[in-house]
Structure 1
Amino acid sequence: MEARILRLNLAGQPIEWIHWQEAVCLYARDLVTWTLGGVVRRVTGGYSQLSGHISRIELPAIMAVGGSHLAPMRTVPPLTNRALFQRDDYRCLYCGKRFSFMQLSRDHVHPTSRGGKDRWQNVVAACKRCNQHKGNHLLSEIDMPLIALPYKPNNAEYLALVNSDRIRGDQMEYLRAQFSSNSRWL
């Protein structure tokens, strides 16, 4: 898989993953303010009419980008099953066993049928057997303790969760410094 580039805002807060083509456009628009990490990709372009040399851009693993019209920082990361299961290490938080993506489901600790919300702090990965057994019961009504409490990942953790299979060491090091104390990645 192709490595992506970690885009930061000017304050160094992680915003999103971008493809190399987007990074080239940001360079061309002179929006890249500072960079970190190793080179992800070297891109060559056409010949300069002034110098006769081929244009080259080395794209770094991490880049801070200015401009107010660019993507704003999220306050709540999107809740997807992929990110949820990754947060919970593909482990059912009731029986503690590891499962594949297809064997897991999203369980609402406080069931939605009883007023629970579909948000990070109320959902856990559960194997289908445990999820069915729990049904719409509250934990206080059934003998099924959680092995870990659900939490909302911050933006740095979320970006690590959704790109875990192709994240570079320098990118992970940068993100890890911003993880919350709840993170299993520390």
Structure 2
Amino acid sequence: MSANAHLSASAFPALVLNADFQPLSWYPLSVWSWQDTVRAMFLDRIAVLSHYDRVIRSPGQELRLPSVVALKQYVPQERRPPFTRFNLFLRDRFSCQYCGITAPIQELTFDHVVPRSRGGRTSWDNITTACTRCNLRKGSRLPRECGMHPLSRPQQPSTHQLRQNGRQFPPGYLHESWRDFLYWDSELEP
């Protein structure tokens, strides 16, 4: 299939749902390019749930571009999220746990609540998100020594908690056909 010349790879992404109709990931939201989606469709790996109005053509065929697809085979999700900088920021909702400001990722760092120089470990239970200013202010002191206590106790998040937090940060692009699949479990207004 050949698409029009002005149809770029980033145009018309498809929302990808697992076989249970939940997004594979919320943040970043699981999307595929239209080329990957069409390829998976011809390999019979997905079910198409919704389409764009856009059509691509080949000499013998015409195809509406899928906007929402579901995998035919369920992909198991990890029970315990990996300990990464991004997952830490997502756990803490991209907010400094000392002053409460929400900041872009490049302005955030992580802080050992009990500093490593004092025997603190690098683990979910001892690391919290901090803005650069608060991290410098706290330094290698204990929270009680500097009067800086985390707003929430650091702990290992569940995959469910990270998904819930990810839902609070929608991407810049949400096609209207995606809304039914992303917010179907939201509370309805009376």
**Change in 2 beyond 3 A, CA 1:90/1:158:** closer
For structure 1, which runs of at least 5 residues remain unmatched after alignment? 49-53, 180-186
2:122 to 108, 117, 121: 117
Secondary structure in structure 2 of the residue aligned to 1:129: helix
1:147 is matched with: 151
Q: Is the aligned partner of 1:63 residue 2:75?
A: no
- Distance across 2 between alignment mates of 1:166 and 1:123: 32
C-alpha displacement of 1:100: 3.8
Whether contact under 8 Å (1:5, 1:40) holds in the other structure is no
Pair 1:30-2:44 in alignment: yes
Aligned to 2:173: 166
Q: Residue type matched to 1:57 in 2?
A: R
Looking at structure 2, the residues matched to 122 and 41 of structure 1 have their Cα atoms a distance apart, in angstroms, of 50
Provide Cα deviations, 1:89-135, integer angstroms capped at 9, x if missing partner. Answer: 5432211234343322122335455343344x654331112112323
Q: Which has the higher strand share?
A: 1
Partner of 1:46: 58
| Equivalent position of 2:4 in the other structure | none
Counterpart residue number, 2:132: 128
Q: Tell me, what secondary structure is at the counterpart of 1:15?
A: coil
Task: Tell me, yes or no, if the aligned pair for 1:77 and 1:158 is still in contact at 8 Å.
Answer: no
SS at match of 2:111: strand
With normalisation by structure 2, the TM-score equals 0.63
TM-score, length-normalised on structure 1? 0.64
Question: What percentage of residue pairs aligned between the two structures are identical?
Answer: 26
RMSD over equivalenced CA pairs, Å: 3.7
Task: Give the paired residue count.
Answer: 168
Aligned pairs for 1:65-84 within 5 A: 65-67=71-73, 72-78=76-82, 80-82=84-86, 84=88
